[in-house]
Structure 1
Amino acid sequence: MKHKYSRLLLLILLFLPIALWAQEKAYPKNGEGIELFLKRFNRTGSYYQKEFIRLNKSKLGKNNMLITGVKYTIPPLKENEQPVKSEPASKRRKGYEPLFGKNLASYNVESNELKGACFYLVSGHGGPDPGAIGKMGNHELHEDEYAYDIILRIARNLMIRGAKVHIIIQDSKDGIRNDMYLKNSKRETCMGKAIPLNQVSRLKQRCAKINQLNKTDKETYKRALFIHVDSRSRSKQTDVYFYNTGSKASRKLTNTMKSVFQRKYAHHQPGRGFRGTVSKRDLYVLRNTTPVAAFIELGNIQNKYDQQRIVLSNNRQALANWISEAFVIDYKNYKK
């Protein structure tokens, strides 16, 4: 009888769900959001994101941001769903971009979902021109510094997904920074060339560099992105808004970006709504850039609520993650 119960207990244990034995846990990599973190463990889709939040709610930062150094519980795979084999870490392609800064210069190419895509990323102003300047307490917020930090974060996201990326405006010292108040400098160059103070000359220079690179890049999917921070009256609060050239591909890209932002706002700030807009604008850089282009204004650098969108590093990373996700969707639709 004793052996009979032992055998019965063993059978019960054998058929218990694996999640009852041990739940898989892991630390996030620097810059990862929930979606990219789960993708490393072959958990994709809204089901796993909701489960992850349910399991880890007490460990998440503002707007469900992942916190570096915190170990998170990974949702178990659905019943009958088999894990997809991924390449061992030793076989993953490695990349190195010193512009990201000492701690983030090295990265692993985690996927090939953007293989065959090429991006030209441009942060507004730079060099002798800081762009719009906002005030927060005793601190000045310089447009070019915050636009540049977000561009670097987007570039790293895209490279991790296997894309070719040209960072057009560069600073040899400033990497990706987590400070609230980013110090201003005049070191920025247009890929090594001094940036002119004259506005038209400055815009001509970056468009010429993009068009020059475009001639030699062999990829068929090429997208240029320009990022700025607007300046309006202090009382004017705005959401992120998007400009396109009016071409079908440019409209499609900016509408995809808006859709991603609407979905993210509905998830992270339910009930608030997203009021960002998409429109055609006859801007110099959009008109004179050969690849399909989009232009993004991240908000009003004078408004105290919009300022939170750029001074908090988690928010800068979220902006980069959402824009990167829109590029992934646009590329997948392009390949269909």
Structure 2
Amino acid sequence: MLTVRTLRKLILTFTLFLNASLLFSQDYPKVVAEDGDGIYLLLRRHGLNPAEHLQPFVELNQDQLGQGNSLFAGKTYLLPTASAGTAAVAEKTLAVVPVPSSPTIFTEPLFGKGYERVEVIDRQLQGTVYYLVAGHSGPDPGAIGKYGPYQLSEDEYAYDVTVRLARRLMEHGAIVYMIIKDEDDGIRDENILKMDTDEVSYFGKPIPYDHKQRLRNRVADINRLYLKHKGAHQRMLSIHIDSRSKGKNIDVFFYHHENSAPGLALAERIHEVFTNKYNRYQPNREYFGTVTPRSSLYVVKYSHPPTVFVELGNIKNDKDQRRFVIPNNRQALANWICDGIMADYKASK
């Protein structure tokens, strides 16, 4: 006579056998790995989202993978189907927390005393999720510029624009994650922003000294949160300030992954807003900002949500410095990026 425990084992064994049979009974596309390929790059090149298809790919090709699930150039691998990815992450899927439909006023201490009271003015971005990353931070100030007797650090100004953008998105009902946080700073209205190193990750961990580890950590945080909101409209923006020769005046420009149509669309929508704003407020000056693929950037390459990498200007150029040293200009940058994000979401529906 079978015990309940034995019966459960038999059912589990049969289920695993059935799933395996279904998995390997299909005809999967075959692709050859190129030199330098990793699983993420290979999947993206063939139009598959790593967040959905990483695990099915590993299961299909487990005998063909090297240490750490690395690929071998010249070897043939099977690609999972779209349905395989959906099934693989089904257990990790959580419903998006809805924004209340009634008028809402809430307090967000991260924005600082003068800005912590946030009113949701409309629901245009309800159901959307945005991951915002201020470049560098912690022990890495990023690029350094000189403004009169003062030093300007990239991370402080990128952070101020990023946190202003977070507030604007929340005003329109979006769910927003500040992947880098500085709970002491908030939104600041000074021209010269004091440099510090006390920024932490979204989950409160210190930001490491090692550059590659910093990037790995923030991408891991983003991808962890991405799975929580599976099925929602999700996007990521990484905001930086470039460093070039002092005489080089540049406009705000954007990078995206070459195989990410949603990333390209978001970059183009924000770029369009900047072009229109320049035509309106500086009619005698052409806007030269660009939208360019740059898949080699770590956060662009490995983040699951479609990603746009934003460069706000040259921190060493006098004209570019005015773009972010003046607080109202930092707010305008945040507002214009927000307008592009809203246009992108409207167009995607």
TM-score by shorter chain over 0.5: yes
1:99 is matched with which residue: 91, 110, 120?
110
Aligned to 1:130: 141
Contact 1:117 1:219 survives alignment (8 Å): no
RMSD: 0.8
1:239 equivalent in alignment to 2:244: no
Distance 1:231 1:95 in 2: 37
Are 2:175 and 1:175 aligned?
Answer: no
Structure 1 regions of 5+ residues with no counterpart?
1-90
Residue number among 190, 197, 210 corresponding to 2:201 in the alignment: 190
> What SS class does the counterpart of residue 139 from structure 2 fall into?
coil
Distance in 1 separating the partners of 2:270 and 2:126: 20
Write out aligned runs for 1:211-250 (5 A).
211-218=223-230, 220-246=232-258, 247-250=260-263
TM-score for the superposition, normalised by structure 1: 0.72
CA drift of 1:219 comes to: 5.0
Q: Which amino acid in structure 2 is aligned with residue 117 of structure 1?
A: T
Runs of 4+ more than 2 Å apart: none
- Residue in structure 1 matched with residue 66 of structure 2 by the alignment: none
Say whether 1:149 aligns with 2:160: yes
- Asked if 1:158 is matched to 2:181, the reply is no
Does residue 262 (structure 1) correspond to residue 263 (structure 2)? The answer is: no
**Structure 2 Cα separation of the partners of residues 263 and 230 of structure 1:** 23
Distance of 2:103 and 2:299 partners within structure 1: 36
The alignment partner of 2:236 has SS state of strand
Deviation at 1:258, TM superposition (A): 0.8
2:293 corresponds in structure 1 to 280
* CA drift at 1:218: 4.4
Instruction: After TM superposition, give the deviation of residue 159 of structure 1 in Å.
Output: 0.1
Relative distance call for 1:251 and 1:214 in structure 2 (3 A) is same
Deviation readout 1:96-145 (Å, 9 max, x if unpaired): 21110012111111100000110000000111110001001110001000
> 2:82 — aligned with what?
none
Question: Which residue does 2:212 correspond to in 1?
Answer: 200
Contact 1:243 1:295 in 2 (8 A): yes
The answer on whether the counterparts of 1:121 and 1:225 sit within 8 Å (CA) in structure 2 is yes
**What one-letter code is carried by the residue in structure 1 that aligns with 2:247?**
S
State the distance in 1 between where 2:257 and 2:110 align: 29
Rounded to whole Å, the distance in 2 between the matches of 1:234 and 1:103 is: 34
What amino acid is aligned across from residue 129 of structure 2 in structure 1?
A: C
TM-superposition CA deviations, 1:218-247 (whole Å, max 9, x none): 452100000000000001110000000121
Contact 1:116 1:219 (8 Å CA) reproduced: no
Would you say the 8 A contact 1:121–1:168 is kept in 2?
yes
Alignment of 1:284-323 (within 5 A): 284-323=298-337
Matched, 1:330 2:344: yes
> Separation in 1 of the partners of 2:106 and 2:345?
21
Question: CA separation in 1, counterparts of 2:263 and 2:226?
Answer: 17
TM-score, normalised by the number of residues in structure 2: 0.69
Counterpart-to-counterpart distance in 1, 2:215 and 2:182: 18
1:120 counterpart letter in structure 2: Y
2-structure distance, mates of 1:134, 1:329: 33
Taking the aligned partners of 1:108 and 1:272, their CA distance within structure 2 comes to 36
Counterpart residue identity of residue 270, structure 1: P
Aligned residues: 245
Asked if structure 2 preserves the Cα contact closer than 8 Å seen for 1:118 and 1:219, the reply is no
CA distance in 2, matches of 1:304, 1:113: 37
Q: How much has 1:95 moved relative to structure 2?
A: 2.1
Residues 25-44 of structure 1: pairs in structure 2 closer than 5 A:
none
Gapped runs of 5+ residues in structure 2? 1-101
Q: Tell me the residue number matched to 2:6.
A: none
Q: Which amino acid aligns with 2:329?
A: N
Which one-letter code corresponds to 2:166 in the other structure?
A
Task: Report the secondary structure of 1:194's partner residue.
Answer: coil
What secondary structure, in the 3-state scheme, does the structure 2 residue paired with 1:255 have? helix
